[in-house]
Structure 1
Amino acid sequence: ALFDRAGTESVDVAADPRTAAAILRGALAARGHRVIATEHVGGVHLYADRFRYARFGSLVGHVSLVLLLLTAAVGSRVSYADDGFVVPEGSTREVGLAGLSARVASFEAEYYTTGQPKDFRSDLILLRDGSEVARKTIRVNEPLDYDGVRFYQSFFGPAAVVRVTDSSGAVVFDDGVALAWRTDGDRPVGPVRVPGRDVTAYVVAPSAAGRDTLISPGEMRLEIYEGASDRPVKMETLAQGEDVSAAGLTFTFVREKQFTGLRVTRDPTVPVIWLASALLVIGVTAVLVFPTRRLWALARPAAGGSRVAVITVGRRDSSQDDEIKELLAQLSRPAGAQTEAPRRRGRAPAPEARALPEQ
C-alpha cells in the first residue's frame, strides 16, 4: 500500500530485483545515506535515511528556549547591578560585593571642539581586604572583569575635596565628594556624612545650565544640617581653601576634582545563557541546513527484469525530487537498456520509446 500512494516514482530495470536493489543501495550509500535492506517474497525492500540525528535539532532548539527563560527568571533573583556607583578621583569606595573596594587612581576626559565628550577613562584599582587584586584603565566598552564582577565606565561629573575637623583640630573627614545629583536649580550636589556625628553637609556646585548668580565658577556652597532637621544650621559659599564652622566642626573646601560613574554588575547565569544560545544556534542550524531525508524503495520482479519504486514521506523539496530522479536514472543505465523517464503514480505515464530488434 505504501508504494501505491501518489508521489511514488518508478523505473524499469533490466536486472533481477537483487541486483537492482544492490545498485540502488550503492548509489544511496555514495550520497551519504544509511541503507537497510530486507528481502521478502515480493521483492527487496530498502530503507534509507540521511542526517537522521538532525531531527533532534528541533528538540535542542526548544530545550534551549526553555533554558533561556529559566535562566532569565533565576538571573533576576541572583544577579546584581548598580548603575550609579560613583567614586571621586583619588578616593576609594566599598563595592558591597565579595569584599571588594574600588579606587580611582586617575580620571581623564577628552572633548570635541563642540564641547561634547570624545573619550573618558578611569584608572581603576580593585582592592580586597586592602590588597590590590586587579587594575585596568576602563572605558565605556572596555570594562574591568574580576571574579565575575564587571565594572563599566558609564558617566562622570564634578567632585569636591572637603576636609572636616573637630574643635580640637583633629581631622574627622578628608575625602572627595561626588556631586552626582541635581538640585531643583540644576546645580550638582553631593552629601558629606560626618563619621561619628549626626551632621550632614551638602556640597553644591555652580549650575551647569548657564550663569549662576549664587555660586561663581571655582566656588562651592555648603549647606550644613544637624540631626533630622530640614533647616540648615549654616549655609556658606566658599572659594577654594576657605572654611566655615558649624555644629562644632570646621568644613574646608580644599579643591575641585572629578568623579567617575561606574556600572557594576554580577550575573552568575551568564555562562548558562551562552550555553543556551549556542544550543539554539546548533538546533536551528541542524533543522534548516541538514534536514532529515528518508526514502523507501521496493525492487520487485517485472517483465524483462524488475521494477524499482521509490517514495518519500513528509515534506519534500525540489532538491529531493532531483535526487530521486538522478537515482532512478542511474538505475536504468547499468543494464544498457533505454533509459525510461521515472513514473509518478497519480499522473499519466509518458509514452514509452521501444528499440527495434536488431536484424
Structure 2
Amino acid sequence: MRFAVLQITLLVIAGLIGTLVRQLPASALRDPQAYASEMAQMHQRYDAVNLLGLPIGPGMVDLFERLGFFRVFAAPWFVALLTLLVLSIFICTLDRTPRLWRGVRRVTVEQPPAFFDLRLPERARFGHEDLGEGEVATVLRAKRYKIRRALAEDGSVTWIYGDRNQYMKMATLLTHLGLILFLAGGAVTAAFGFETVIFVGEGQTAPVQPVGTPGNLLVKNISFEAPRRPDGAFEDFRTDLAVYQDGQQIARKTIRVNDPLQVQGFVFHQNTFGPSADIEVRDEDGRLVWTGPIILAGEVAGLAQGFLTIPGSSIGMLLFLQSDSSGAPLLAMTGLGPTTAEGSSGIIFNVRLGVGATSDPVDTAGYAVTWTRPGEWTGMVVKNDPGAPIIWTAFGALIVGLMLSFYFPRRRVWARISPQDGVQLAMLTDRYVNGEREFAALLEELTARGGHRPQRGTGPGVGASAGA
C-alpha cells in the first residue's frame, strides 16, 4: 500500500512539473531544427531567473533538459513510473481476484446463537408467535434477496439466509481494469499516436504525414469562410476540406470548431486561420514558375508575414500584408539574395503591389510578380490516436465499476427461527450502505406483517430497543 502511494505521489509530482514547466511540442522532438529553435526560446524564457541574486537561469535550463523536465510525458523515467504503476495494479488485481471470488461465493446459511447477540449492530428479535418463516421469506423476496434455507438435524431450528447483489463485489475488478486500460491507452498514444498542425491556403494541398510515408494522406483546402457579425466579431470559421489518398478523394466535409472530419483514424480539427496572398511569378521569358497562395502565418511589427523561395533560383521573398492611407490592401515584398560569406542575405529589392498589380521585372530581379488576389489560410490540428478506443473502454470500465460498487452494494440478512428464541435477525452490509437505515426499514415491514415490534439491543452503536 505504501509503495502504491509512493508511486502515485511521484506521478503527481511529475504531472505538476509537466503542467507548470513549458513542454517541448511533439514536432521539436522529431525535427532537430525545430528542437534547436524551441530550446532557444526556453533559454529566452528562463535565463533571466535569479535566486538570491545569482543568475541560475542558464544552468537551470540545461539541468531541466537533462532531467527531461521539458518533455516530462515522453521522458523514459516517466514512462518507467507509469509502467511500474500498471504492473503494480495488475499484480494487485491478480492477487485480489481469487480472494474476492472466494468471498462472494462463500455462503454460510447457518449461524450460531452468538451471531444474533442483540448487543451487536443490526440485530433484532421477534417473538415466536409474532412472525413465521413464511413472512420473513416473503419480505426478503420482495426486497430482491435471494433466499436459502437450512434446517437443524433435529428440526428445532430453521435458518433463512437472504443475499442481495451477491456478486457485485467483483465490480471492483472493473475499476482496476479501467485504471490499467487508462495507463495502457496513454502509453499506446504516446508510442504510436500522431499529432501535427497543418496550415493550408485556399486551393492548396498539403501532406499530412512526412513525404514518402506509405498511404500518406493529402488535405486540400477547397474554400475557407470566416463570416462576421454586424459588430465585426467573427460569427464562425469553417473549411471545406477534402482528403485524398493515392490520388482518390476518400472524404470531404465542411469542418468547424468542435465539428471535425474523421477518416481512417485521423481527425482533422478546425483550429485557426489567417490571411494569405495568391501570387504568380514569371521569369524573364514569361514562363510561370510559381502560382498559388503564400501563407502569411508569421508576424513582424504587427504585420502578417510569409516567405517564398522562387523555384529554380536562390532568391527568397519576404511578403508583408500592409494597407495604404485609404485602407486598401498592399502586399510588400522584400527580395533576399544569396547568403554572403558573412552569413547574411542581401536585400535586392523592395516593392509594394496592390491587388491585381504586377511588378516591373526590372524592380524584382527579372521576375514579374503578380498579386492575383488576397485569400485566407486555414489551420488544422490533425490527430491519429490509436490509444483513444482503449481509453474510452477504460472510461466505461471505471464508470460501470464505480456505479455497480456504489449503487448495488451487497446486503445479507440471516434469520434464525426456533420455538425457544423466536425469530432472531442479523444484517451485514457493504460499507457504502447505511446499514442501520436499511435494517430499520426491514424491521418496519416485518412489524407490519407480524403486528408486534421487535426487541433490539442498547449497546454502543446499536439502535435503542423498540420494545417487545
TM-score by length of 1: 0.82
Q: CA deviation at 1:284?
A: 2.0
SS in 1 for 2:226: strand
| CA distance, structure 2, for counterparts of residue 163 and residue 349 of structure 1 | 96
Q: CA deviation at 1:71?
A: 1.8
Render the CA deviation track for 1:251-304: whole Å, top value 9, x for unaligned: 3332211112222222122222222222222122212222211122211231xx
2:335 to 206, 224, 236: 224
Structure 1 residues 56 and 350, CA, compared in 2 at 3 Å: closer, same or farther? closer
Query: 5+ unaligned residues in a row in structure 1: which ranges?
Result: 334-338, 353-359
Q: Which residue of 2 aligns with 1:20?
A: 132
**2:343 pairs with 1:343:** no
Structure 1 residues 204 and 350, CA, compared in 2 at 3 Å: closer, same or farther? closer
Q: Which residue of 1 aligns with 2:217?
A: 100
Structure 2 contact 276–293 (Cα < 8 Å) conserved: yes
Q: Which residue of 2 aligns with 1:48?
A: 162
- Within 5 Å, give how 1:35-114 maps onto structure 2: 35-40=147-152, 43-83=157-197, 85-96=198-209, 98-114=215-231
Render the CA deviation track for 1:49-85: whole Å, top value 9, x for unaligned: 11122222333223313322332233233222224x2
2:372 to 254, 275, 292: 254
Aligned length: 333
Query: 5+ unaligned residues in a row in structure 2: which ranges?
Result: 1-113
| CA distance, structure 2, for counterparts of residue 186 and residue 45 of structure 1 | 86
Structure 1 residues 244 and 272, CA, compared in 2 at 3 Å: closer, same or farther? farther
**2:408 pairs with 1:290:** yes
SS in 2 for 1:103: strand
1:34 to 140, 146, 153: 146
Render the CA deviation track for 1:301-350: whole Å, top value 9, x for unaligned: 31xxx51111123445254123330354266x3xxxxx332112335756
Q: Which residue of 1 aligns with 2:104?
A: none
Structure 1 residues 244 and 103, CA, compared in 2 at 3 Å: closer, same or farther? farther
Q: Which residue of 1 aligns with 2:101?
A: none
**2:317 pairs with 1:201:** yes
Render the CA deviation track for 1:143-187: whole Å, top value 9, x for unaligned: 11111111122222211012223344332221101111111x110
| CA distance, structure 2, for counterparts of residue 57 and residue 290 of structure 1 | 10
**Residue type of the alignment partner of 1:94:** P
SS in 2 for 1:133: strand
Q: Which residue of 2 aligns with 1:166?
A: 283
- Within 5 Å, give how 1:94-173 maps onto structure 2: 94-96=207-209, 98-173=215-290
Q: Sequence identity of aligned pairs in percent?
A: 28
**Residue type of the alignment partner of 2:236:** D
Structure 2 contact 275–374 (Cα < 8 Å) conserved: yes
Structure 1 contact 226–247 (Cα < 8 Å) conserved: no
Structure 1 residues 254 and 350, CA, compared in 2 at 3 Å: closer, same or farther? closer
Structure 1 residues 250 and 21, CA, compared in 2 at 3 Å: closer, same or farther? same
**2:306 pairs with 1:190:** yes
Q: Which residue of 1 aligns with 2:125?
A: 10
Q: CA deviation at 1:2?
A: 1.5
**Residue type of the alignment partner of 1:139:** R
**Residue type of the alignment partner of 1:78:** F
Structure 1 residues 231 and 312, CA, compared in 2 at 3 Å: closer, same or farther? farther
| CA distance, structure 1, for counterparts of residue 466 and residue 395 of structure 2 | 52
| CA distance, structure 1, for counterparts of residue 287 and residue 179 of structure 2 | 62
Structure 1 residues 341 and 106, CA, compared in 2 at 3 Å: closer, same or farther? same
Q: CA deviation at 1:108?
A: 1.9
| CA distance, structure 2, for counterparts of residue 351 and residue 191 of structure 1 | 92
SS in 1 for 2:235: strand
Q: Which residue of 1 aligns with 2:20?
A: none
**Residue type of the alignment partner of 1:187:** L
- Within 5 Å, give how 1:253-272 maps onto structure 2: 253-272=371-390
| CA distance, structure 1, for counterparts of residue 143 and residue 299 of structure 2 | 72
| CA distance, structure 2, for counterparts of residue 94 and residue 100 of structure 1 | 6
Q: CA deviation at 1:9?
A: 0.8
Larger RCO (CA within 8 A; separation ≥ 6): 1
Structure 2 contact 279–291 (Cα < 8 Å) conserved: yes
SS in 1 for 2:227: strand
Structure 1 residues 167 and 242, CA, compared in 2 at 3 Å: closer, same or farther? closer
| CA distance, structure 1, for counterparts of residue 392 and residue 253 of structure 2 | 25
Q: CA deviation at 1:236?
A: 2.0
**Residue type of the alignment partner of 2:229:** Y
| CA distance, structure 1, for counterparts of residue 337 and residue 219 of structure 2 | 30
Greater shift in the superposed pair: 273-282 or 239-248: 239-248
- Structure with greater strand share of residues: 1
| CA distance, structure 1, for counterparts of residue 416 and residue 337 of structure 2 | 97
**Residue type of the alignment partner of 1:219:** L
Structure 1 residues 244 and 287, CA, compared in 2 at 3 Å: closer, same or farther? farther
Larger Rg: 1
Q: Which residue of 2 aligns with 1:311?
A: 426
| CA distance, structure 2, for counterparts of residue 212 and residue 250 of structure 1 | 22
